[in-house]
Amino acid sequence: MQQLLNGIFLGSIYALFAIGFTLVFGVLDRLNLAHSAVFSTSAFVGIELVTRAGLSIWVTLPIIFVFGGVLGLVIERVAFRPLKDRHDAHFAGLISSIALGAMFLALLQAVFGPDTRRFPPDAFPRQRIEFAGSTVSVLQLVIVAVAFALMVGLTLMVSRSRLGRGMRAVAENPHAARVLGIDVDRITALTFALSTALGGVAGVLFALNVNSAQISMGTSIELKGLAVIIVGGLGSLPGAMLGGLIVGLAEVFAVAYVGSSWRDVIAFGLLFAILLLRPQGIFGARKVREI
Amino acid sequence: MRRLTGSIAGAAVLALALSACGSGDSTTTGGGGDTSALKGTGTGDTCKITTPVPIGAVFSLTGAAASYGESQKKGLELATEELKTMGGVTYDVKIEDDATDPQQGIAVFERFVTKDKKSLIIGPTLSNTAKQTDPIAQEGKTPVLAVSNTAAGITEIGDYIFRDSLTEGAVIPQTVDAAKAKFGLSKVVVMYSNDDAFTESGYQAFKAALDKSGVTITKTITFAKSDTNFRAQLTEAKGAAPEALIVSALIEAAVPLVTQARELGITVPIIGGNGFNSPKLMAGAGKSADGVVVGAAWNSASSGPENEAFLTAYRAKYSADPDQFAAQAYTGLKLVDAAVRAGCSGEREDIKTHLAELKDVPTALGKFTMTATRDADTPAVVQVVEGGKFAVLK
Amino acid sequence: MLEFVDAYASTITFMALTGVFAYSFYAVLVAGQLSLAQAGIASAAAFTSSLAVPAEPLFGVVPRLVVGIAVGMSVGAFLAFLLGLPVMRLRGVFLAIATLAFGEVVRILLINQSWTGGAQGLSFPKLVGIPQAWLALAAVAYWFWRLGGSRLGRAFAAIREDELAARAMGIDVSRHRMTAFVTSGAVAGLYGVMLAYFVRFAEPNAFGFSAAVDGLVTAVVGGTIFFIGPVLGSTFLTWLPELQRAIGVEAGWIRPFVSGLLLLLVILFLPGGLAALIPHRRRGIMTPPDAPLDLPALPAPGTPIASLRAIRKDYGGVHAVHEVDLDIAAGEIVGLIGPNGAGKTTLVNMLSGLVPPSGGEGTVVGIPLGSGVPAHRIALAGVSRTFQQIKLFNRLSALDNALVGAHRVSRPTMLRRLVLLPSARRDEKRALGQAFAQLTRVGLADRAHLPAGDLSYGDQRRLEIARALAAHPSLLILDEPAAGMNHVEAHLLSVLIRALAEDGVTVLLIEHNVRMVLETCTRVVVLDFGEVIAAGDPATIARDPRVVEAYLGAEDDQEEPA
């Protein structure tokens, strides 16, 4: 039971990270590998806000949401927009986002130094709840709640709001969208901003969950994030949520029943299997070939 | 714009090539040219060498091992400063970054050995990098003093390779004996990160020592060195109902592991390897760290005069407590100084001879003797966290 | 100078080794695939070779390094083959992620083995120095240099630019992609072995995600179109840290920041990578070589070329093509007309094998249609086509486009080019002759050297036809070739098509320009809603009231809205 809960909590954070990834891919057909740098940077900035400025975590989260969004605007403007019409836009975007991510991390070290940072011990109530023989901390429950609230909010926004309609139009056919008067550049920028805003919040929640933040914390979760979006379906928001839970649970049960050394093999094996058997993932749509 | 970037890159490469071929930089005194410049008069405290002894240091100042490299740099710079005030012999210490990339480490070593003609190299930070860089120094007959390499196969590279860092194999048997005596252990769970050379060697040392003491390992659980969420593994460990949790991990993992273990209701003693020996343990884990037993190559609570002086000076300069990396780097330069003064020479051969002969040298790490295999012999200590500080386990 | 080499020996060696690694990425990027498994493959190769390399030279003669390289490259090729089998049908990002996952799995597997030393790694003797490393780089670079002008290299480029069009030109895409994969694996294996025997050490962690990304970055920065790219990329990136050190950029955060910045600048402002900075000789206006290809005779007039019986294509509930019977005999010019959405292109896609029929039977140039029949087989049997949306290989020159078209009638030259056999040169010349002849036929001879993407719309349409003709097809399918042409151009096209028919090429023409169809074709078939509503000679069709109603509209002389 404890493991089940562990899996759910782990999975919810994976999902929150992945949902940003999949949003950009679904709408803009781009893989933003600077997402992990936003994740790390936001964690550090969040810790700084709580430690130095003495802000409560509830105030910090919305600030980080905006901060992450701003980073996303920068990433879009610098690393992706100039490559828009290039034939090799996919590869080039991959590399430019890697380069920009590396620059962010270097700046992170410049400001904060290379050491691990932690929240002050009183940043969050450390109460624990006993539940069906397992221990759950209030913090973990809050993390799951926030993660789900954000994901549900995003899904609703995409399906109901005007911005969401614009995003779906651009996802279908950017040229047609432009002809129809949709400001594709603005939608693109906002999509990036939204995705990294979520990634930033994910970073702070992740750091809260383990009470530590390192410069390299984004790298391993980025790989897991890729597994999540493939399993769930590239471009599908509910897919990212479900995929996150599946990967989280699979990992935890791998530790419990297979052996912790093989934990990551399970995650990547799952990824591989899905790619071979059902490449569109659980919720993804198969693209019809155009001739 | 295209042409510009290309031309700049091209011109820069050309400039580099020319600068390398041209006249040397400031540190070409010593070694190849004037052979007597690094030999001095007198001995020990009265030794006087006119030219600064060129020392190169290679640390990981960026990249994955950056936090260790930072500590080492601080320790080394403190020692350099202190040696300046002693007089008679001065050291020109150049610290280079290998960016946690063995390829860069190799390049820097090569330059230190052939071009800059350093008398000795300190470092590198990681053992696996050392396995690739030290052979170059060995071939170039340049002594290396490792200050954080604890893996097997380092000093075996050759007779120019020395170290002042105790291996896990030297520390852990003592830790296991002390823990068994104190807690009466018969069955334990062992956890370690199996993708790191240091922690893996720590695990192997733990396993050997536990087997020798007749303690049963009911479960062995691995994790990755970059992990910070251990709830799944700890839940498994808890399920095996051990009498103690034995952990070989780096400090980045140790802190969340200890915290989460206590959160999950694991109350049994936690016994850690050398990676736990850092003030970050208490700073990060707070109350959860109380009672954690740590096998250490450096006793931060030792009241020896050298250690006290080191602690005071470090705190004054950096407003923070030093960790083992800083202590070993600091001691490293002091040992080099001892070797240089013993022969009153900054020549590579003489340093090599006298490093091998170091015996009972008082240092912050305790009394230091260089073994016949050029490994460190200092008193290992078993510590326990009490009231937010390390104390010796009794 | 010697002092320089001494002091920088390892950097100079790494330059070569990193270049080799970058070539393993180039090998797949040149065919348009992004594979990231090379790091894991390199690592497996290195460790496996440690098991196989003897302590003494083999049989007293064969150097240990050679044994190691042979083992490493075989392991690399084999692993790439194993990986390639399941992932061959993945594209783009999916392929990248799948190969990345594979690399990670290999890393974790190797870390958990004891024979690799686990995280503590394995020691290797030093068997590689500057000469060995540069020899390896030279050999690999030579291979890719020879690839550049060969039929195989052009096929890769075609797949990269437009996979579907490549298929339609007779290129077996799956086999080619697998070849690229296996080559990449072998080169990665070479790198792994050379690296281990140079730095005297290997650990599985050194070959993880970061290493893969580094290799990819090197390849992309260098440029993935011209063979010299990886060498440039590795030169730039290997010297960058040393350069920063030399000009005094302090360690700490500045160095990785500057590296990232430079990478970003190169990617943003140098699309072709560093290789694009090298001015490469543009072939100017060319004189046609006079080395004719030995082309087989086209089928005699009247021979059945294609025959469809009750052919159907359904997409979900939509009957795109419904119970169509069609016969085409050699020497005919068959016009296929009908309103938009009538199913013309779908019918033609089935004829050319790009889409399998949902029902019915069909035979084209002797090959029965079915879901197991790949498009390239039909193309190789003598069917060539153009596309409704122009599908040229945009970054290749017009001549190269036509050369790809000649894939079917030209002979493979790669292996012979490696040993510089003159017969390879002759075959290349012949293919060149064929390609040039087709360009001349459509009037593009003076623009042969221009990139296809730079041509005007009309020229591009004609280039597509030239490319299709270069294959010496028995059946030439033209899908709206006159779209966007004015009357004069359309008339010239019509003249061309009649000339082709006189030369023995059978033509199936889809067109909306009805006047042109009536002027050009010997027979016209009219489709509407997926069914044939009329067929016969042009004059009859023009008067058929059903056709007039469905397609031409009420007025007689109405010009077809283009």
Predicted local distance difference test score (pLDDT) of residue A238: 84
Q: How far is CA A266 from CA A275, B300, C41, C207, C386, in A?
A: 14, 42, 19, 19, 46
Count of C-beta atoms within a 10 Å radius of residue C498: 16
Residues of B in contact with C111 (CB under 8 A): 194-195
Structural domain count, chain B: 2
Whether residue B78 sits in one domain with residue B159: yes
Task: Confirm if A123 and A138 have CB atoms less than 8 A apart.
Answer: no
- In this structure, the answer to whether residues B291 and B312 fall within a common structural domain is no
B325/A contact by beta carbon, under 8 A: no
| CATH code for the domain in which residue B42 is found | 3.40.50.2300
Q: Do B131 and C274 touch (CB under 8 A)?
A: no
Could you tell me if B65 and B86 lie in one domain?
A: yes
Let me know: does B116 contact B28? Beta carbons within 8 Å.
Answer: yes
* B309 inside 8 A of chain A by CB: no
Q: For the segment B280-301, what is each residue's pLDDT rounded down to a tens digit?
A: 898 888 888 999 999 988 988 8
| Set of chain B residues whose Cβ sits within 8 Å of the Cβ of A264 | 224
Residues of A in contact with B232 (CB under 8 A): 3, 6-7, 10, 251-252, 255-256, 260, 263
Cα distance between the two ends of chain B: 70
Establish if B387 belongs to a structural domain. no
Q: Is A51 on the interface with B (CB under 8 A)?
A: no
Residues of B in contact with C126 (CB under 8 A): 135
The ipTM value here is: 0.87
> Per the domain annotation, does B313 fall within a domain?
yes
Among the three residues B275, B296, B317, which one is the final residue of a domain in this structure? B296
Look at residue A21 and tell me if it is in a domain. Answer: yes
pTM: 0.89
Among residues C155, C186, C178, the alpha carbon closest in space to that of C168 is found at: C155
Find the distance separating the first CA and the last CA of chain A, reported in whole Å: 51
Q: Is it true that the peptide bond before C339 is cis, omega within 30 degrees of 0?
A: no
* Shared domain check, B310 and B363: yes
pLDDT digits (tens, 9 = 90+) for C227-286: 999 999 999 888 888 888 888 777 678 888 888 888 899 888 888 888 888 876 655 556
Assess whether pLDDT exceeds 80 at residue C356: yes
User: Which residues, 6 or more positions from A143, have their beta carbon under 8 angstroms from its beta carbon?
Assistant: A9, A12, A13, A205, A208, A209
Q: Tell whether the model's pLDDT for residue A200 goes beyond 80.
A: yes
In whole angstroms, how far apart are CA C518 and each of C302, C491, C513, C527, C548?
A: 21, 11, 9, 15, 13
Residue in chain B closest to A264 (alpha carbons) equals B224
Inter-chain CB proximity B9 and C236 less than 8 Å: yes
CA distance B167 to chain C (A): 14
DSSP C362-378: EEETTEE--TT--HHHH
Q: Is A115 on the interface with C (CB under 8 A)?
A: no
Is B269 domain-assigned?
yes
* Residues B117, B52 share a domain: yes
Q: Is the pLDDT of residue A287 over 60?
A: no
Question: With 60 as the cut, is the pLDDT of residue B19 above it?
Answer: no
pLDDT per position as a tens digit, A112-147: 988 888 887 777 777 778 777 777 888 888 888 888
Predicted confidence at residue C291, as pLDDT, reads 65
pLDDT of residue A288: 41
For residue C560, CA distances in Å to C345, C498, C513, C546 come to 18, 22, 6, 16
- Determine, yes or no, domain membership for A241: no
Of B61, B111, B199, which has the smallest distance from its Cβ to C7's Cβ? B111
Angle in degrees, CA B27, B29, B30, rounded to 5: 115
Q: Which of residues 203-232 of B touch A (CB under 8 A)?
A: 221-224, 226-229, 231-232
Residue B338 lies in a domain: yes
Distance from CA of A125 to the nearest CA of C (A): 35
* SS3 label, residue C518: helix
Q: Do C98 and A226 touch (CB under 8 A)?
A: no
Contact at CB, C206 and B2, closer than 8 angstroms: no
- Collect all residues of chain B within an 8 Å Cβ-Cβ radius of residue A106: 62
Q: Are A211 and B62 a contacting pair at CB < 8 A? A: no
Q: Note whether residue A2 is domain-resident.
A: no
Last residue of a domain, one of B268, B296, B324: B296
Query: Who among A128, A209, A260 is closest to B229 (CB)?
Result: A209
Q: Which residues of B touch C206 (CB under 8 A)?
A: 102, 128
By C-alpha distance, the chain C residue nearest B60 is: C252
Check whether residue B284 and residue B222 sit in a common domain. yes
Cβ burial, residue A260 (10 Å; 0-12/13-18/19+): buried
Q: For a pLDDT cut of 90, what percent of chain C falls above it? A: 41
A135 interface with B at CB cutoff 8 Å: yes
Give the structural domain span for B259. 169-296
Q: Would the pLDDT of C554 be above 60?
A: no
Q: Which of residues 75-94 of C touch A (CB under 8 A)?
A: 86-87, 90, 92-94
Q: Which of residues 48-77 of B touch C (CB under 8 A)?
A: 61-63
Q: Integer distance in angstroms from the first to the last C-alpha of chain C?
A: 70
Q: What is the mean pLDDT of chain A?
A: 85
Percent of chain C with pLDDT over 70: 96
Whether the predicted pLDDT of C71 surpasses 90: yes
B179 and B265: one domain?
yes
> Looking at beta carbons, which residues of chain B come within 8 Å of A2?
231, 235, 264
Most distant pair of Cα atoms in chain B: their distance = 73
Residues 501-540 of C with CB under 8 A from A: none
The answer to whether residues B288 and B308 belong to one domain is no
In a domain, B77, yes or no: yes
Chain B contact set for C14 (CB, 8 A): 103, 106-107
Which residues 15-54 of chain C have a CB within 8 Å of chain A?
29, 34
A267 lies in a domain?
A: no
Judgement on whether residues B162 and B173 belong to the same structural domain of the protein:
no
Per DSSP, what are the bridge partners of residue B94? Answer: B56
Is residue A237 situated within a structural domain?
no
Reply yes or no on whether the pLDDT at B22 is more than 50: no
Please list every residue in chain A whose beta carbon sits closer than 8 Å to the beta carbon of residue C313. none
Yes or no, beta carbons of A116 and B263 under 8 Å apart: no
- B109 burial (CB, 10 Å; 0-12 / 13-18 / 19+) is buried
Residue B68 is predicted with a pLDDT of: 92
The answer to whether A262 contacts chain B (CB < 8 Å) is no
Q: Which of C428, C402, C399, C430 is nearest to C413 (CA)?
A: C428
Whether B384 is covered by a domain: the verdict is no
Is residue B103 domain-shared with residue B195, that is, in the same domain? Answer: no
Assign C96 to helix, strand or coil.
Answer: helix
Determine the structural domain holding residue A76 and report its residue range: 16-117+130-222
Report the pLDDT averaged over residues A11-16.
Answer: 88
Give domain status of residue A171, yes or no.
yes
Inside any domain, residue B17: no
B370 and B340 inside one domain: yes
Residue of C nearest to A111 (CA): C253
Please say which residue of B241, B266, B296 terminates a domain.
Answer: B296
Neighbours of chain C (3+ CB pairs under 8 A): A, B
**Ramachandran quadrant class, B214 (left: phi over 0; alpha: psi -120 to 50; beta: rest):** left
Angle between helices A263-277 and A237-253 (to 10 degrees): 140
Distance from CA of A277 to the nearest CA of B (A): 29
Question: Can you tell me the mean pLDDT for C62-80?
Answer: 94
A183 CB contacts (<8 Å, ≥6 apart)? A166
Residue A245 domain-assigned (yes or no): no
| Percent share of chain B, pLDDT over 70 | 91
Q: Is residue A143 part of a domain?
A: yes
Q: Do C105 and A79 touch (CB under 8 A)?
A: no
Residues of A in contact with B321 (CB under 8 A): none
Lowest mean pLDDT among B51-60, C9-18, C248-257: C248-257
pLDDT tens digits, one per residue of C79-135: 999 999 988 888 877 888 889 889 989 999 999 888 888 888 899 999 999 999 999
SS3 C323: strand
Mean pLDDT, range B169-197, rounded to an integer: 91
Does residue B137 sit in the same domain as residue B200? no
Number of domains within chain A: 1
Let me know the angle formed at the C-alpha of B45 by B43 and B46, rounded to the nearest 5 degrees: 60
User: Residue C432: pLDDT above 70?
Assistant: yes
